[in-house]
């Protein structure tokens, strides 16, 4: 199976020309897509079980998106039912004083997945060339070299047994507006709403420019980005799960042989 939404190294990225509407790409209705997703999710559960049991390799899944882009929702629906012992989800927030006393990859490197584990980053080291760039949190002379520093960091990880899957959830500005409004209208979603999000929305075009540059510069042969049309949640979940399942099938994890000879074991 080919990867529909994966970028090629060197490819120019123009987000305005890239689809946010998955339903236009899907050959079927929403019900068919949901059924396909559910089948893939079952397969993911089985593959993750083997990946964890094998305990040799590592999988890192990175999610980036604008606010309300669907990172939390995708993680919740795609990972439902997997063995929680083999998966760690890390949401990256504003760095702490201690984080800032170190290089920007310090807090990231500490929590990359170990053998047999799937690590999921809800936001990531990429914030350091996104929010940091758009709001001038550090000067360009500091953030500009980070593209290359990130590429080398990801090279180190992949050279040492980690497969990296990076998903940018691509929503339109209209869809973000709808989702913000839904959050405002629903008291159970108020906790997710930060007035700051409205401020950041004013910088939409600057964010798109920052995303375009990081998608282009940090799509390497060892760690390409995927741009997922994310206005329809059902398409988003299907497209992401497809790529995770395809990748795990290629890794083809195996249950390890028993540590002891079990052929003569009798349980009294
Ligand atoms: P949320 O994902 O809605 O919980 O929000 C987390 C917030 O942390 C977002 O506003 C991010 O932009 C912010 N954030 C994450 N990483 C960084 C970083 N390296 N520097 C500055 N802000 C960050
Ligand atoms: Mg938020």
Q: What is the CATH number of the domain that holds 51?
A: 3.40.50.300
CA distance 217 to 9: 8
Domain for residue 256, yes or no?
A: no
Domain that holds residue 215: 15-251
Specify the 3-state DSSP secondary structure of 118: strand
Is 75 close to ligand 1, i.e. is its CB under 6 Å away? no
CA distance 247 to 241: 10
Domain for residue 26, yes or no?
A: yes
What is 207-223 written as a DSSP string?
A: HHHHHHHHHHHT--SSS
Domain for residue 2, yes or no?
A: no
**How much distance in Å is there from the Cα of 39 to the middle of ligand 2?**
30
pLDDT tens figures, 104-151: 999 999 999 999 999 999 999 999 999 999 999 999 999 999 999 999
pLDDT tens figures, 159-186: 999 999 999 999 999 999 999 999 999 9
Nearest residue (CA) to ligand 1, atom 15: 93
The residue with tokens 């929403």 is: 30
Segment 247-260 mean pLDDT: 96
Q: Which ligand is nearest to the CA of 91?
A: 1
Is 1 close to ligand 1, i.e. is its CB under 6 Å away? no
Write down the mean pLDDT value for the chain.
97
CB 11 within 8 A of CB 216: yes
Position 2 confidence tier, pLDDT thresholds 50, 70, 90: low
Segment 42-70 mean pLDDT: 98
Nearby residues of 148 by Cβ (< 8 Å), 6 or more positions away:
217
Domain for residue 178, yes or no?
A: yes
The residue with tokens 């890239």 is: 18
Domain for residue 103, yes or no?
A: yes
Domain for residue 215, yes or no?
A: yes
The domain tally of the chain equals: 1
* Structure tokens belonging to residue 194: 């930060």
**How much distance in Å is there from the Cα of 167 to the middle of ligand 2?**
17
Is the pLDDT reported for residue 1 higher than 50? Answer: no
Domain for residue 233, yes or no?
A: yes
CA distance 154 to 7: 16
Domain for residue 265, yes or no?
A: no
Q: What is the pLDDT of residue 3?
A: 83
Q: What is the pLDDT of residue 147?
A: 98
Surface-to-core class of residue 12, CB atoms within 10 Å of its CB (0-12 exposed, 13-18 middle, 19+ buried)? exposed
* Structure tokens belonging to residue 145: 């070299």
Is 107 close to ligand 1, i.e. is its CB under 6 Å away? no
Q: Which ligand is nearest to the CA of 122?
A: 1
Is the pLDDT reported for residue 242 higher than 50? Answer: yes
């Amino acid at each position: 199976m080919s990867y529909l939404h994966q970028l090629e190294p060197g490819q120019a990225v123009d987000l305005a020309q890239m689809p946010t509407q998955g339903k236009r790409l899907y050959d079927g209705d929403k019900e068919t897509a949901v059924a396909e997703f559910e089948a893939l999710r079952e397969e993911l559960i089985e593959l993750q079980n083997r990946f964890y049991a094998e305990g040799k390799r590592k999988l890192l899944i990175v999610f980036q998106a604008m606010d309300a882009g669907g990172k939390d929702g995708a993680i919740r629906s795609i990972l439902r039912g997997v063995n929680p012992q083999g998966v760690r989800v890390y949401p990256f927030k504003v760095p702490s004083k201690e984080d800032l006393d170190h290089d920007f990859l310090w807090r990231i490197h500490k929590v990359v997945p170990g053998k047999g584990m799937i690590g999921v980053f809800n936001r990531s080291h990429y914030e350091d060339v996104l929010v940091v760039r758009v709001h001038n949190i550090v000067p360009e002379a500091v953030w500009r070299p980070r593209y290359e520093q990130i590429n080398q960091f990801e090279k180190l990880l992949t050279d040492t047994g980690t497969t990296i899957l990076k998903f940018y959830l691509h929503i339109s500005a209209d869809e973000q507006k709808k989702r913000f409004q839904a959050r405002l209208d629903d008291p159970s979603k108020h906790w997710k709403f930060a007035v700051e999000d409205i401020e950041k929305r004013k910088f939409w075009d600057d964010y798109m420019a920052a995303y375009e540059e990081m998608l282009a510069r940090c799509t390497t042969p060892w760690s390409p980005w995927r741009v997922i049309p994310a206005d329809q949640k059902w398409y988003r979940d299907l497209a992401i799960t497809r790529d995770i399942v395809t990748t795990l099938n290629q890794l083809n994890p195996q249950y390890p042989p028993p540590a002891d000879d079990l052929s003569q074991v009798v349980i009294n």
